[in-house]
Amino acid sequence: MALPLSSKAAVLTAFKQPLEIKDDWPVKQPSELAPGECLIEMEYAACCQSDIHIRDNDWGADASIPLIGGHEGVGRIVAIADHTFGHHIQVGDRVGVKWFAKTCLRCEMCRQGWDGCCPEAMSSAHGLRINGTFAKYVVSFVDYVTPIPAQLDSATATPILCAGLTVYKALKLSNAKVGQWVAISGAGGGLGHLAIQYATIMGFRVIAIDTGEQKKELCLKLGAEKWVDFMESPDIIKDVQAAADGLGPHAAIVAAGHPLPFNQALSYLRSTGTLVAAGMPGGEAMLNVSIALIIAKCLNIVGTLTGNRQDIAEALDIAAQGKVKCVYSIRELSEVNDVMSEMKAGKITGKVLLKV
């Protein structure tokens, strides 16, 4: 099929500066694709807190600029490189693009399902090392794009590729059992409101931690049993413990760019509880609770950057069954900088999708 030579994209050209909206970004032509690569015409891309951290270089990772931002999106395959063999996708298929564009699929970490620990993974992260999803056309890899279930429309599927995957994996690693309490920080946000739904499906009892009446209403509607407003609580540690039978939750899921929620979680968790640090926090996030407290309470601390290919298949299947539904609004790609500003100010409930 005939493809344009250029198209629109939101490009990071300087750290701590707004992304530049370009209408003439070059489109890689089918003849230019390397074996294993595919070209995707995007429908939707979701905006994530990580996009803000990359823009502001909070991680000190020095993104490979100029760079198209974004790392979760859905579109259709329009080209597959010549001399690409053994792949599971075809031109015309609808696929999802995730944080990692590819992994080696051969190392010990890949074999064990720890894709994010593969040495090749971070060097191929969309929106950090290679061009991401804030563009009409995106180059990715046939071995790692994710087929989208027919029952899911593209907009509904998009947030599962990063936000949903991240919290689903975190809950799988939480050690929580059916009927036990799980605290979710930022429960009304893009990751948090999906975490509530996955946790409820898994049989956990949810304590939602966030602020504001709109987010409270959403969290309780989605299945949270208890609500703690961190802005109104005089003692958040006591309030969270009180919400979980006075002993504290069995697990806490925290995906934040600030150290406070992590340290609070270690204090309010009941003995033998598990803190799961989910996703990529901001550069300032660190634990400063004493080791003595962690040892005394026999706490477990688990980190997970994202999930593997099996995790995303499961997360999408649950969404395809209608058991998890993302709350989202749709904006134009040209509004990406406004969206980022609103996200940073905590003004967005759920997720924002960019129509590309």
CATH number, position 49: 3.90.180.10
User: Is 125 in the same domain as 53?
Assistant: yes
Beta carbons within 8 Å of 292's beta carbon, 6+ residues apart = none
Instruction: Report the C-alpha gap between 275 and 174 in whole angstroms.
Output: 7
Q: What integer pLDDT is reported at residue 2 of this predicted model?
A: 85
Q: What integer pLDDT is reported at residue 20 of this predicted model?
A: 98
**Would 311 be classed as within a structural domain?**
no
User: Is 139 in the same domain as 235?
Assistant: no
**Would 309 be classed as within a structural domain?**
no
Instruction: Report the C-alpha gap between 134 and 163 in whole angstroms.
Output: 16
Question: Token pair of 161, please?
Answer: 């590729």
Domain count, the chain: 2
Give 165: exposed, middle or buried? Use CB within 10 Å, 0-12, 13-18, 19+: buried
Pairing verdict, β 94-97 and 73-80: antiparallel
User: Is 29 in the same domain as 149?
Assistant: yes
Q: What integer pLDDT is reported at residue 282 of this predicted model?
A: 64
- pLDDT 10s per residue in the chain (356 long)? 689 999 999 999 999 999 999 999 999 999 999 999 999 999 999 999 999 999 999 888 788 899 999 999 999 999 999 999 888 899 999 999 999 999 998 999 999 999 889 989 989 999 999 999 999 999 999 999 999 999 999 999 999 999 999 999 999 999 999 999 999 999 999 999 999 999 999 999 999 999 999 999 999 999 999 999 999 999 999 999 999 999 999 999 998 777 889 889 999 999 999 999 988 766 555 666 678 888 899 999 998 888 999 999 999 999 999 999 999 999 999 999 999 999 999 899 899 999 99
User: Is 187 in the same domain as 141?
Assistant: no
**Would 127 be classed as within a structural domain?**
yes
User: Is 180 in the same domain as 148?
Assistant: no
- pTM for this prediction: 0.95
* Alpha-carbon distances, residue 35 vs 59, 140, 141 (angstroms): 32, 11, 9
**Would 54 be classed as within a structural domain?**
yes
User: Is 271 in the same domain as 127?
Assistant: no
Question: Token pair of 77, please?
Answer: 């395959």
**Would 316 be classed as within a structural domain?**
no
**Which of 303, 318, 342 is the last residue before a domain boundary?**
303
Pairing verdict, β 274-278 and 94-97: unpaired
Q: What residue numbers bound the domain in which 281 lies?
A: 164-303
Beta carbons within 8 Å of 64's beta carbon, 6+ residues apart = 128, 129, 130
Q: The CATH number of the domain where 193 resides is what?
A: 3.40.50.720
Q: What integer pLDDT is reported at residue 224 of this predicted model?
A: 98
User: Is 284 in the same domain as 180?
Assistant: yes
How many other C-beta atoms can be found within 10 angstroms of the C-beta atom of residue 11? 18
User: Is 103 in the same domain as 74?
Assistant: yes
